[in-house]
Structures are given as C-alpha cells and as structure tokens.
C-alpha cells in the first residue's frame, strides 16, 4: 500500500502525480474528514451517490452526517433517493416474507431472520429495514 496526494476541484479528484495502473484495477480512497470542509464532503458524497458508486448510508458517512440528516440534505438539494426496479422487487419480496412471519418474534429472532435473509441475498444493507427494528 502507498499514499498519493490528490486535490478535489469542481467535483473531480485529481492526482498530483501520474499513476500507471492496468484497466480494471480497484483503488480504495480514504478521505480524511479533517481535510475537507463539511460542504465539500457533502458535495463529494452527493456526486458519488448520483453516479451510483456508493449507497445513501455510505454517502451520509462520507458527508459526516447521520442517515436522516443526509436524507434531508438530499431533499434540500433536489437529489432523489436512488431506487430502481430491482430494489423495488427485492423490497416487495422482503415484505412478502416478513408478512408471513409471526409478529410475536423477539428482537433477537427478528435480527436472526434479517441475517438469514441477508445471507441468502434476499435483502441488502443499503438502507435499514424499518420493519425489523
């Protein structure tokens, strides 16, 4: 692992020195919250979210905000919640499964159920399951 310096300008993260990498190489970028102002963190998070590169939860984390506050910020800026047909199908399937479950399950049993559904790929962790809280 090695570090590179970059600058974030006009919505683009630019490396200060060229880096030769083969196509398809995955790169992990760690951004210090101290380095960017809150406004720039929110801007960066929204740009990555709009491009489909991160989930809303991860965008909120990058922005340094809790999930609900980030949703509010998205609304203020006119950014729609990323939700496609595939996610809708998964949510409908999850709702069908949960509707068949007895409502007398303990919190621990609900968590176990959620973990089983997650392992089987029937739900995702992009957004919280309010019905299991």
Residue predicted with more confidence, 60 or 2:
60
**Looking at the structure, do residues 58 and 78 belong to the same domain, yes or no?**
yes
**Looking at the structure, do residues 126 and 93 belong to the same domain, yes or no?**
yes
The tokens of 69 are what? 């506050």
**Looking at the structure, do residues 78 and 96 belong to the same domain, yes or no?**
no
Question: In terms of Cα–Cα distance, which of 126, 128, 122, 125 is closest to 101?
Answer: 122
Distance (Å, rounded) from C-alpha 20 to C-alpha 23? 9
Q: Taking residues 17-35, what's their average pLDDT?
A: 73
Residue 49 in domain? yes
Q: Are 14 and 6 in contact (CB under 8 A)?
A: yes
Helix (H, G, I), strand (E, B) or coil at 14: strand
Q: Are 33 and 44 in contact (CB under 8 A)?
A: no
**Looking at the structure, do residues 72 and 92 belong to the same domain, yes or no?**
no
**Looking at the structure, do residues 44 and 78 belong to the same domain, yes or no?**
yes
Residue 22 in domain? no
Which pLDDT tens digit goes with each residue over 37-88? 888 889 989 998 888 888 888 888 888 888 889 989 999 999 888 777 777 7
Question: In terms of Cα–Cα distance, which of 94, 93, 92, 88 is closest to 113?
Answer: 94
pTM score: 0.47
Residue 69 in domain? yes
Distance (Å, rounded) from C-alpha 133 to C-alpha 94? 14
Distance (Å, rounded) from C-alpha 81 to C-alpha 4? 33
Domain that holds residue 65: 33-82
**Looking at the structure, do residues 55 and 78 belong to the same domain, yes or no?**
yes
pLDDT band at 125 (very low <50, low <70, confident <90, very high): low
Residue 28 in domain? no
**Looking at the structure, do residues 101 and 71 belong to the same domain, yes or no?**
no
φ, ψ for residue 7, nearest 5 deg: -130, 140
pLDDT at 16: 77
Residue 119 in domain? yes
* Tally of domains in the chain: 2
């Amino acid at each position: 692992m090695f570090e590179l310096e970059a600058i974030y300008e006009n919505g683009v993260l630019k490396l200060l020195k060229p880096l030769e990498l083969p196509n398809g190489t995955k790169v992990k970028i760690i951004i210090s919250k101290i380095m960017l102002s809150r406004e720039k963190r929110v801007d960066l998070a929204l740009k990555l979210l709009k491009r489909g590169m991160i989930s809303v939860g991860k965008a909120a984390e990058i922005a340094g905000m809790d999930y609900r506050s980030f949703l509010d910020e998205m609304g203020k800026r006119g950014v729609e919640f990323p939700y496609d047909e595939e996610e809708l199908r998964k949510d409908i399937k999850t709702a069908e499964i949960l509707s068949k479950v007895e409502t007398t399950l303990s919190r621990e049993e609900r968590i176990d159920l959620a973990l089983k559904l997650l392992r089987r790929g029937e739900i995702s962790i992009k957004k919280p399951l309010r019905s299991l809280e």
